[in-house]
Amino acid sequence: MGRSSLGCVAQLTVESRPDEVRQPDWAQEPDSAQRMDQARRLLGSAHRLLILTGAGVSAESGVPTFRGPNGLWRTRRPEELATPQAFQADPRLVWEWYGFRRERVGACRPNKAHAAIARLTLENENVRLVTQNVDGLHELALEEAASDGSYPAASLSRAEPIRLHGSLFRTRCTGCGDRTLDRHPVDVDSEASLPRCKKCAALLRPDVVWFGEGLDPQILQSAIAAAEAAEVCLVVGTSALVHPAASLPLLTKESGGVVVEVNTEATPLTDVAVVSIRGPAGKILPRLLPV
Ligand code: BJW
Ligand code: ZN
């Protein structure tokens, strides 16, 4: 694929209406097939592809998204809980939220969107995956796709996502900074029962990136390099409200590439995208990705 931007913004509506309509809208649109083809052609011919995912890619696995009607936890917005200030003020409350999410996400399995992305990244060394998600489902999908031993270790490690916002299943010590894998349930009975560091006894925190905290510079740099090099940036299931993640597709565009979006709703990136496909990732990606 050349690095010229296509001029038009094609939008495709795939989401089903709330009540009676079970067949997705895109199937009824006269030009929907053409638009899927346009996206497929772009993705299929890109020499370097970046896939950027957000919470929407895990929605069909049962993982709640952050924003929108189902994004609230006890009427609190993520902006109130995902901050160092919230943790300092009330670590029990913040750990309760993360404990709840660990439990919920721990019971979820990768869906067809994760599986399609995993196959593509394992098969194609020119595809990079950058995720904002902390749920580990892309990693599980990779394990599942490679469970028959047919991929060499090098393919597996290359296919690992660049995780912008950390992991729900890792802790970081607020004292010595030690990082540990941790899938345990969290005891939030009292401040004394919260997870503590085995080395220095200081309070542990989830090893995630909160608002106002910088991303790991090396991780951010890899994501920026992948965005700048990409001929196509496929953006899946993110509200594109949180930066710097939401700026990555703009970097692709500024570098002469194009943006393709898959989302159930319009986002600030919809007008940036050369093709915006409106529909659930688990239905769209298996039909879209060239494996
Ligand atoms: C489906 C679907 C289906 C549903 N199929 N789709 C530039 C401009 C303005 C502000 C800033 C800026 N640069 C930095 C900032 C400040 C701030 C920021 O972005 N604020 C904005 C909110 C205004 N950013 C930061 O603070 C970042 N740090 C930073 O930049 O450091 C330097 C700095 C600091 C301060 C000032 C300036 C510079 C850090 C951001 C950390 C974000 N952390 C969180 C929590 C992680 C840990 C945890 O999980 O608890 O990350 S917040 C939360 O939002 C989480 C997510 O990764 C992130 C993005 O959410 P996402 O994935 O997009 O989810 P949703 O729910 O918003 O959207 C889901 C989408 O899916 C929707 O569109 C649905 O329609 C769709 N969907 N089902 C397809 N089946
Ligand atoms: Zn410590």
- What is the SS3 string spanning 99-166? HHHHHHHHCCCCCHHHHHHHHHHHHCCCEEEEECCCCCHHHHHHHHHCCCCCCCHHHHHHHCCEECCE
**Mean pLDDT within 12-21:** 35
137 within ligand 1 shell (Cβ under 6 A): no
In this structure, the residue with its CA closest to atom 47 of ligand 1 is 208
Report the chain's mean pLDDT, rounded to a whole number. Answer: 89
pLDDT beyond 90 at 283: yes
pLDDT beyond 50 at 7: no
Model pLDDT, residue 33 = 79
Q: How far is the CA of 1 from the centre of ligand 1 (A)?
A: 30
213 within ligand 1 shell (Cβ under 6 A): yes
66 within ligand 1 shell (Cβ under 6 A): yes
In this structure, the residue with its CA closest to atom 4 of ligand 1 is 56
Q: How far is the CA of 164 from the centre of ligand 1 (A)?
A: 10
Model pLDDT, residue 20 = 39
Cα distances from 1 to residues 112, 186, 268, in angstroms, run 27, 49, 25
Catalytic residue among 47, 114, 138, 165: 165
Asked which of 30-39, 73-82, 108-117 is least confident by mean pLDDT, the reply is 30-39
Model pLDDT, residue 171 = 98
One-letter amino acid at 32 equals S
Confidence band for 108, pLDDT divided at 50, 70 and 90: very high
Confidence band for 17, pLDDT divided at 50, 70 and 90: very low
How far apart (Å, rounded) are the C-alpha atoms in residues 252 and 120?
Answer: 20
pLDDT beyond 50 at 30: no
Cβ–Cβ < 8 Å for 179, 204: no
Cα distances from 287 to residues 31, 79, 88, 150, 269, in angstroms, run 16, 35, 45, 23, 22
pLDDT beyond 80 at 198: yes
Confidence band for 209, pLDDT divided at 50, 70 and 90: very high
50 - beta bridge partners?
128, 233
Q: What pTM does this model have?
A: 0.91
Q: What does the block give as tokens for 183?
A: 């899938």
Concerning whether 165 is annotated as a catalytic residue, the answer is yes
Confidence band for 70, pLDDT divided at 50, 70 and 90: confident
pLDDT beyond 60 at 16: no
Q: What does the block give as tokens for 150?
A: 């047919």
Cβ neighbours of 243 (radius 10 Å): 10
Confidence band for 167, pLDDT divided at 50, 70 and 90: very high
Ligand 1 mutation pick, 211, 219, 270, max ligand atoms within 8 A of CB: 211
Model pLDDT, residue 291 = 72
Residues 6 or more apart whose CB falls under 8 angstroms from that of 269 comprise 235, 238, 240, 246, 249, 259, 261, 276
Burial category of 63 from C-beta neighbours within 10 Å (exposed 0-12, middle 13-18, buried 19 and up)? buried
**Mean pLDDT within 175-201:** 96
Model pLDDT, residue 29 = 52
Model pLDDT, residue 76 = 87
Among residues 15, 19, 40, 42, the alpha carbon closest in space to that of 29 is found at 15
94 within ligand 1 shell (Cβ under 6 A): no
Q: Which atom of ligand 1 is nearest to the CA of 132?
A: 57
Q: Which atom of ligand 1 is nearest to the CA of 60?
A: 80
**Mean pLDDT within 157-176:** 98
Cβ neighbours of 160 (radius 10 Å): 13
- Which ligand minimizes its atom distance to the CA of 283? 1
Q: How far is the CA of 222 from the centre of ligand 2 (A)?
A: 28
